[in-house]
Amino acid sequence: MNHTLLWQKSTFSDGGDGNTCVELTGTGEHVRLRESDAPDTELTTTASPLAHLIRGVKSGLFDATA
């Protein structure tokens, strides 16, 4: 059986069809992420760690300091 994954682009992508975006898809309990310029390289995680990462990014936890 062939399962085609439906990838969704980030809303922060540049809006074009170029290769400058993060895409994700859900497969059961897992979330898969990739960059559109390297679609053969994927990261797999679950919802909880991804939610922690997103909260950290939004809060500025990973911002560079001078």
What confidence score (pLDDT) does residue 27 get? Answer: 87
Cα 34 to Cα 56: distance, rounded to the nearest angstrom: 19
Cα 66 to Cα 52: distance, rounded to the nearest angstrom: 25
What confidence score (pLDDT) does residue 16 get? Answer: 59
What confidence score (pLDDT) does residue 66 get? Answer: 57
User: In what side-by-side order are the strands of the sheet with 30-35?
Assistant: 8-9, 22-27, 30-35, 42-46
pTM: 0.71
**Which H or E element spans position 55?**
helix 47-59
Give residue-wise pLDDT tens across range 3-49: 788 999 877 766 656 666 889 999 889 999 998 888 899 999 999 99
Cα 50 to Cα 2: distance, rounded to the nearest angstrom: 27
